[in-house]
Amino acid sequence: MPNGFNQLPQYRQLYETLKKGIHEGLYAPGDLLPSENELSRTYGLTRPTIRQGLGELVNEGYIRKIRGKGSVVKRRKAGIGILNIKGTTDSLPTGKLRTLVVDAPVLKPWPAALKEELSATDLTHKCVYLSRLRLIELQPIFYEETLLPNRDLPGFLTQNLNDRSLFGLLAEDYGIRVTGGAQRIRAIGAKGKIQELLQVTNGTPILRLDKSYETNRPYYHFYTSIWCRTDAYYLEGAL
Amino acid sequence: MPNGFNQLPQYRQLYETLKKGIHEGLYAPGDLLPSENELSRTYGLTRPTIRQGLGELVNEGYIRKIRGKGSVVKRRKAGIGILNIKGTTDSLPTGKLRTLVVDAPVLKPWPAALKEELSATDLTHKCVYLSRLRLIELQPIFYEETLLPNRDLPGFLTQNLNDRSLFGLLAEDYGIRVTGGAQRIRAIGAKGKIQELLQVTNGTPILRLDKSYETNRPYYHFYTSIWCRTDAYYLEGAL
DNA sequence: CAGTGGTCTAGACCACAGT
DNA sequence: CTGTGGTCTAGACCACTGA
């Protein structure tokens, strides 16, 4: 029987299931996850497959494995989880994050600073630009500008990106999944547009992240710059 | 025959070998690594073992895997690689990094701010404190303070930590290896001791990282805070 | 088409934690 | 001692790339 949209590999499904269990408190910090052998029996998968799923949880900082003991759930992350690859929202106080579009998607030429990083294929297409402001408890926390090549993105310019995950949109509507990337971080002083949007005084220390994402679509990269105030919330990530 | 100190698992040896090859230019950016099947033949290991080794290279941002094509070596990282777990020095311009001890190791009581994070066993021991300044091209770039529980660390207080990797010392002399951890990042304004050590003007935006490390020694954690100026060098890491 | 990496199975032996 | 995670073998089928 054709199973249609069962695209997610089994170890990934396990990962999602366990992550959900952790988020919902089924497994509390300090608790042990079921052992690998037990998970193996429960889900009808072999241990290497189970281990692949648990490995993702380790990478994302959800659990720690201790030989002879088990997989221990780590204490809840308190900061903003944009250091790791997953979408931003993964580890935030639930429902408290608002996302407001500042500049709706438009076509632009590529900025000169990025041109040397771009692949030849991406350079032949124009660039989709959009920017959004993210608020926690109605307080602006960070502002993000995204640039992506306008290649096979039908209807993207008319998408509504308020309170919507960009990663989710790319995955669901265009089959683009992020597979890797790199980031650079600097501390700068707030000024101009950034200072206004984040509602801080001129010169306030601000975190700036420049990220480049690799995707499952060959030679398709995209780029995000983030400006983040860290007086109330800090950035947190696994090592 | 007893093989003595062959503690390193085979996938880890493969990882070290390939990483060395990348650093030394045997594999240049854009090049393909030998395929998994070829590595399997070359090293006499099965493919899952090879894949485990390559997986580490992916996590550290050295390579990218493309299905149907191979493992592509990524372009060299340019910034300071202290975002990932590996020692700091891994991706710096070779030989340009100097490390100067500011405060040699001394015993101290634990700072109050850390007490709630500490395990009960760690609290029963005093805390070893040390701090170091790191310079690139004779320019101070970041300052780091380290706190670790004084448990089974014979002779640590008299170690010379100038131009020496702390991670290497812990591993070689005490068998302590870092297995994971978490970090928090904020942007702050430079002042006081930090401002003097980093030789910047008062209020200059500075990056502050607070890291906590987990180790292979049960319940043994340690902590590092880093203050980093990012005007000349930025921090870089894989996603 | 042959070769690549992605996923998965079904076992094995080991070092280590807790009892 | 039993059960845990850590490492490893020896295969299998798949989706995808490039010629």
B79, A236: Cβ pair inside 8 Å? no
With CA atoms as reference, report the closest residue to B162 among B98, B90, B82. B98
Are A130 and A148 in contact, with CB atoms under 8 Å apart? Answer: no
Distance in Å from D17's C1' to B93's CA comes to 35
Determine how β-strand A70-73 pairs with β-strand B127-136.
unpaired
Torsion region of B163: left, alpha or beta (phi above 0 gives left; psi -120 to 50 gives alpha): left
The pLDDT of residue A86: 56
Token pair 């408190």 is found at A25
Each residue's pLDDT tens digit, A22-67: 989 899 999 999 999 999 999 999 999 999 999 999 988 899 999 8
When pLDDT is cut at 50, 70 and 90, the band that residue B226 belongs to is very high
Phi, psi of A104 (to 5 degrees): -65, 155
Mean pLDDT, residues B167-172:
84
Query: Does residue B145 sit in helix, strand or coil?
Result: strand
Rank A126-130, A172-176, A216-220 by mean pLDDT and report only the highest.
Answer: A126-130
Burial class (CB in 10 A: 0-12, 13-18, 19+), A125: middle
Q: Residue B169 CA to nucleotide D16 C1', Å?
A: 45
Sequence letter at residue A174: Y
Find which nucleotide's C1' atom is closest to A216's CA. D16
Statement: residue A93 has pLDDT above 60? no
A39-65: buried (b, 16+ CB within 10 Å) or exposed (e) per residue? bbeebebeeebbbbbbbbbbbbbbbbb
Q: Where are the alpha helices (DSSP H) in A33-137?
A: 36-43, 47-59, 120-123
Which amino acid is it at A122? D
Instruction: Determine whether the distance from the CB of A64 to the nearest atom of strand D is below 7 Å.
Output: no
**pTM of the complete model beyond 0.85:** yes
CB-based contact B202:B190 (threshold 8 Å): yes
Strand D contact residues in chain B (8-37), C-beta within 7 Å: 9-12
Tokens of residue A33, six digits: 């996850």
- Give the whole-angstrom CA distance, residue B187 versus residue B199: 17
Task: List B100's β-bridge partners, or say none.
Answer: B133
User: Which of A74, A214, A237 faces B64 most closely, judged by CB atoms?
Assistant: A214
The pLDDT assigned to B5 comes to 41
* Per-residue model confidence as pLDDT tens digits over B66-81: 999 999 999 877 777 7
Task: Report the distance separating Cα B212 and Cα B222, nearest Å.
Answer: 6
Residue B114 to residue B116: CA distance in whole angstroms: 6
Does the nearest atom of strand C lie within 7 Å of B152's Cβ? no
Res. A100: pLDDT tops 90: yes
Nearest to B144 by CA among B85, B207, B199: B207
Our CA angle for A199, A202, A207, nearest 5°, is 70
Quick one: pLDDT at residue A1? 32
Please give the biggest Cα pair distance in chain B: 63
How many Å apart are CA B68 and CA A2, to the nearest integer? 25
Q: Which two tokens stand for residue A69?
A: 């003991």
Residue B100 has pLDDT above 60, yes or no: yes
Give the pLDDT score at B1. 33
List of chain B residues whose C-beta atoms are within 8 Å of the C-beta of residue A239: 84-85, 178, 180-183, 211, 213
For strand C, is any atom closer than 7 Å to the CB of A10?
yes
Q: Give the integer Cα–Cα distance in Å for B208 and B228.
A: 6
Q: What pLDDT is recorded for position B238?
A: 80
Q: Residue B123 corresponds to which amino acid?
A: L
